[in-house]
Amino acid sequence: MQNINEIEELIKLISKLPGLGPKSAKRIVLRLINDRDQLIKPLANVLAQIYKNVSRCKNCGSLKSNLVGCDNCENPKKKFDKICVVEDIADQWSIENSNIYQGYFHILGGTISSAGNRKGDLLIDSLVDRVKRDKIEEVILATSATIEGQTTAYYIQESLKNSKVKITKLAQGLPVGGEIENLDDGTLISAFKNRSKLISNSS
Ligand SMILES: [Zn+2]
């Protein structure tokens, strides 16, 4: 196996994925090779399709299909007056699965202090634009209960100071250090229900 460059390359790539090291990468590659038609072929196809057709929306940060546009912010059938701000797409998926929230999402793609993330990368300007353009009444800050998450929430709150929007934050019931995507549905639902208002210029 050592002499086949493609295999070495694939093992190297797979071991870069979250939660996987060289050992599990080797196991995965062996499994793929043993099932060329059922695994390698469809996997190669779907990866090529995703590379071509799926990208991060520049407006809301969610994943969008380049063929039909962004279902999160460009779908005319979905009109909401709330935006929930999260760090990652996995957080959006967790909140959607809990069924507690009906509204738009805004995915920052990280936090202010995480390495290599400049404020400009976090789509905060586009959040301020969306609030104005879509006549949003409430912005729900659902960043993690980590120092970075809370710093980011504070920065967003400051950025929205001049817009007439109600800003709320998920309830303190969130465990300290808790990341949204790892919360169970019960905790998430109660954090949403008991969210608290930060500032409001409208009422
Ligand atoms: Zn979008």
Looking at the structure, give the CATH architecture of the domain made up of residues 79-199: 3-Layer(aba) Sandwich (3.40)
Interval 186-203: pLDDT, tens: 888 888 888 888 865 444
CA of 78 to the centre of ligand 1 (A): 12
Parse the chain into domains and list their residue ranges: 5-54, 79-199
CA of 57 to the centre of ligand 1 (A): 5
CA of 71 to the centre of ligand 1 (A): 7
To the question of domain 5-54 being in CATH 1.10.8, the answer is yes
CA of 51 to the centre of ligand 1 (A): 18
- HEC profile of 1-66: CCCCHHHHHHHHHHCCCCCCCHHHHHHHHHHHHCCHHHHHHHHHHHHHHHHHHEEECCCCCCEEEC
SS3 105: strand
The pTM (predicted TM-score) of the whole model is 0.79
Residue-averaged pLDDT of the chain: 88
CA of 76 to the centre of ligand 1 (A): 12
CA of 109 to the centre of ligand 1 (A): 13
pLDDT of residue 148 exceeding 90: no
CA of 8 to the centre of ligand 1 (A): 37
pLDDT attached to residue 96: 93
CA of 107 to the centre of ligand 1 (A): 9
CA of 154 to the centre of ligand 1 (A): 23
